[in-house]
Amino acid sequence: MLNTDEILSTIEMLHAEHLDVRAVTLALNVNDCAAPTGDGVCQKLFTKITTFAEKLVSTCDRIGNKYGIPVINKRVALSPVSTILAGHGRQAPLKIARALDRAASECGIDFVGGFTALVHKGITPAEDMLIRSLPEVLSQTKQVCSSVNVASRKAGVNMNAVKMMGGIIRDIAFATEDIRGFGCAKLVVFANIPEDSPFMAGAYMGAGEPEATINIGVSGPGVVSSALKRYKELHHGDVTLDQLAEEIKITSFRVTRAGELIGREVARELGIEFGIVDLSLAPTPTVGDSVGEILKALGISRIGAPGSTAAVAMLNDAVKKGGLFASSSVGGLSGAFIPVSEDSALAEAVESGALVLEKLEAMTSVCSVGLDMIAIPGETRPETISAIIADEMAIGVINNKTTAVRIIPVPGAKAGEFVDFGGLFGSTPILELRNDGGSEEFINYAGRIPAPLQSLSN
């Protein structure tokens, strides 16, 4: 039975602390959209998406208003488009991407994910074609998002794909030079890609899923930060880290419960199966709605200082424990995100010089994603971009966790300059990259980094 304090905490959570449903994502299997011609594939995709997603936006808005919890983004994630590209010519990827863009506009949804290639063990001709089309696709569409999985615990790291992605990312940046390389924000390179994440740009529908599901992403870093500050004030600062971890866990439990309520009701109204709720502390540029502020509440006064990695590890673990206790349908990533440009406190730490690339990489070893929304100088060598990806993939493979890289070379920009991507994507200083070019021989060997010993777990 809820007591008065719990009821008041929930009300405060809803109205004063930035609790929202960050994303409701309709996941669709589109393997039945294969056709003899590229135009046929486009028509089938457009019809399927608009049929299933026709009422997605209006339903989310109505239910969000009913409970006072706004649904910020409405999205569609597809099974990998590379599968239905097989056998079609070089013009097919852009045609299909434009069809996805039209479907998104028709339904009023924010993004379409699933322009995806899974190449952790090798690259098929269709996947090669999709990857090489990305500079054109991401510069000529607005809502299409892409992901490429280049590593897994079982397969190791496909360094041929890693080498390829360094050049592709640089090409995307210069193809979208007029918007500061922003096309790269719509691409994520993964190790151990999650098959049910509702968060873009990495959302796609994996194998073994139903025809369609509703996956929901709940976010509330402001809620957790405020809960920690209240707890510390209540106890006059006389607290221990395990007590703060427990408070994070309790708050995460409440946030997950609220989010699952929204997700299940949306699924029921649309007549689609409910999939998972992903409780991930995904920040926004709004001051206070920040994972960085949580780290400060945990006693890290300068984010990037020694102890930052331990604080992220504790936060990530407590969030997962609270979410799992709240629901049997927790999935996706469910933890703490550290996207630099989207988190005002992290961007501030980069600007002050307290948070550098190497420390960010260390923190990604214990958070839920990886190097996310990192802006780097536009003239960075492709081999250096590939090497950054390789390091992050190694962390994921060795630790059997999802890691990812969403990195943006900003054409014409140098370290220390500021770039503003607008809206939820925020703004950030350009990170300094030390030792640019020092990894070229390593990357050019290509080949494969074999799977680690712990992959032999059967």
Q: What is the rounded end-to-end Cα distance, in angstroms, of the chain?
A: 44
Compute the half-sphere exposure of residue 197: CA atoms within 13 Å on the CB side of its CA: 23
The residue type of 420 is D
CB atoms within 10 A of CB 238: 8
Side-chain-facing half-sphere of 48: CA atoms under 13 Å: 24
Tell me how far apart the alpha carbons of residues 395 and 390 are, in angstroms, rounded to a whole number: 9
- For residues 332-357, b (16+ Cβ closer than 10 Å) or e, as one string? bbbbbbbbbbbbbbbbbbbeeebbeb
Distance of CA 167 to the CA centre of its chain: 21
pTM of the model: 0.91
What pLDDT score was predicted for residue 269? 93
Distance CA 363, CA 5 (A): 34
If we measure between CA atoms, which residue out of 190, 205, 368 comes closest to residue 275? Answer: 205
- Please tell me whether residue 315 adopts helix, strand or coil conformation: helix
Print pLDDT tens along the chain (458 aa).
344 454 445 555 555 555 778 889 999 999 999 999 999 999 999 999 999 999 999 999 999 888 888 888 899 999 999 999 988 888 999 999 999 999 999 999 999 999 999 999 999 999 999 999 999 999 999 999 999 999 999 999 999 999 999 999 999 999 999 999 999 999 999 999 998 888 888 899 988 889 999 999 887 788 888 889 888 998 888 999 999 999 999 888 888 888 888 889 999 999 999 998 888 877 765 655 788 889 999 999 999 999 999 999 999 999 888 888 888 888 788 888 888 888 888 989 998 999 999 999 999 999 888 899 999 999 999 999 999 999 999 999 999 999 999 999 999 999 989 888 887 788 889 999 999 889 999 999 999 999 888 777 76
3-state helix, strand and coil shares in percent for the chain, rounded to the nearest 5: 50, 20, 35
